[in-house]
Amino acid sequence: MLKDLADYLVFTALGMDPGSSLGEALDFFIYDTVKIFLLLTTIVYAVAVIRSYFSPERTRRILSHNREYVGNILAALLGIVTPFCSCSAVPLFIGFVESGIPLGVTFSFLISSPMVNEVALIMLWGLFGWKIATLYIGSGVVVAILAGIVIGRLKMERYVQDYVWEIKVGASEIQERSLKEKFADAGDYTIGLLKKIWPYVVVGIGLGAFIHGYAPEELLLRYAGKGNPLAVPVAVVIGVPLYSNAAGIIPIVQALMEKGLPIGTVLAFMMAVTALSFPEAVILKNVLKTRLLATFFGTVAVAIIVVGYLFNAIL
């Protein structure tokens, strides 16, 4: 319905050419702006309500396992069954941090949720068979776990924005409130968070829309094609500024594979688009300080590049 509305506004009401770069960019911007704000509002509100029934201590016990790395594994597996795009996974990431879950564990979820989910598994299986689908899901989970472990080891909690910790301090106050008060508190929390991040969301979607409209598939074929030993890192660099969920990027993946790109290069591109989108970075900049944001992107990018080269070597 939202896509139909965006198409009508751009291509019928405004009379723009469906094949034009400007038309495609504007259509993307309208559709994704409405979609992401609906998702953000719904998810933030739902997380706030649900969190009122789980004390920070209880949530922390679930994912802050006594055994080292178990929390990263649990968070990465949780990401498989929460098929959010990279932008809409951010509110849950904030909720995890507020609940006192270790930072590295929260990053394992933030990486896994957009990159690895049942939608991607089903579509990849249908298009390319179970071997490629399983390899992609398995490598995505490994990337999420290892990147989370690395970030956790670096002890970078001080590079989370101060207001996130301030919310964490007051979170336990909600526990003793009535149901009506919990809903009201969740509404206030949702409005407050959206006020903080909405400019970043709009800017991020706008940049993503521009790139979507003006960066065709041929860009990847030209600079990351066969014979280029740097094809995998180039594919990651091209993929990061783009924005899509796993389901949205798979048709492009299919087209690229049909044109002869190696599987590792294509899957590295897919991972970069879904787990490291530029709009996500713009939103996260309001949650994370620059050093932690750069560490997150750098760690995940390196892990994706390694996976891409490994796939090219064995397939």
Q: pLDDT tens, 159-176?
A: 988 777 666 544 444 446
The two three-digit tokens of residue 217, written as one number? 């598939």
pLDDT at 293 over 60: yes
Percent of the chain with pLDDT over 70: 72
Instruction: Identify the top-confidence range among 54-68, 169-183, 261-275.
Output: 261-275
Contact by Cβ (8 Å): 228, 261: no
Reported as a single tens digit per residue, the pLDDT across 80-90 is 766 556 666 66
| C-alpha radius of gyration, the chain, whole number | 20
- Residue 197, pLDDT score: 66
According to DSSP, the residues that pair with 160 across neighbouring strands are 288
- Residue 233, pLDDT score: 92
Reported as a single tens digit per residue, the pLDDT across 9-50 is 888 888 888 778 788 888 888 887 887 778 768 866 876 776
The two three-digit tokens of residue 95, written as one number? 């909720």
Distance CA 216, CA 199 (A): 27
Query: Mean pLDDT across the chain, nearest whole number?
Result: 77
Contact by Cβ (8 Å): 58, 96: no
- Residue 167, pLDDT score: 60
pLDDT at 57 over 60: no
pLDDT at 96 over 90: no
- Residue 171, pLDDT score: 46
- Residue 246, pLDDT score: 62
pLDDT at 124 over 80: no
Instruction: Tell me the average pLDDT across 67-82.
Output: 79
The two three-digit tokens of residue 97, written as one number? 């941090």
Instruction: Tell me the average pLDDT across 68-91.
Output: 73
pLDDT at 152 over 60: yes
Instruction: Identify the DSSP state of 160.
Output: B
Sign of CA dihedral 167, 170, 174, 177: negative
Write down the pTM of the prediction: 0.65
Distance CA 51, CA 49 (A): 5
pLDDT at 283 over 50: yes
User: Tokens 């992609």 sit at which residue?
Assistant: 136
Instruction: Tell me the average pLDDT across 245-263.
Output: 71
Contact by Cβ (8 Å): 75, 63: yes
Distance CA 159, CA 254 (A): 39
Q: Letter for the amino acid at 98?
A: E
CB contact set of 65 (below 8 Å; sequence gap of 6+) = 71, 74
Instruction: Identify the top-confidence range among 12-21, 165-174, 264-273, 279-288.
Output: 264-273
Number of continuous H segments (helices) and E segments (strands) in the chain = 16, 0
Instruction: Tell me the average pLDDT across 290-314.
Output: 89
pLDDT-based confidence at 248, cuts 50/70/90? low
- Residue 145, pLDDT score: 93
Report residue 238: phi and psi, to 5°: -70, -35
- Residue 305, pLDDT score: 93
pLDDT at 208 over 70: no
pLDDT-based confidence at 294, cuts 50/70/90? very high
Q: Which has the higher per-residue pLDDT, 114 or 81? A: 114
According to DSSP, the residues that pair with 288 across neighbouring strands are 160
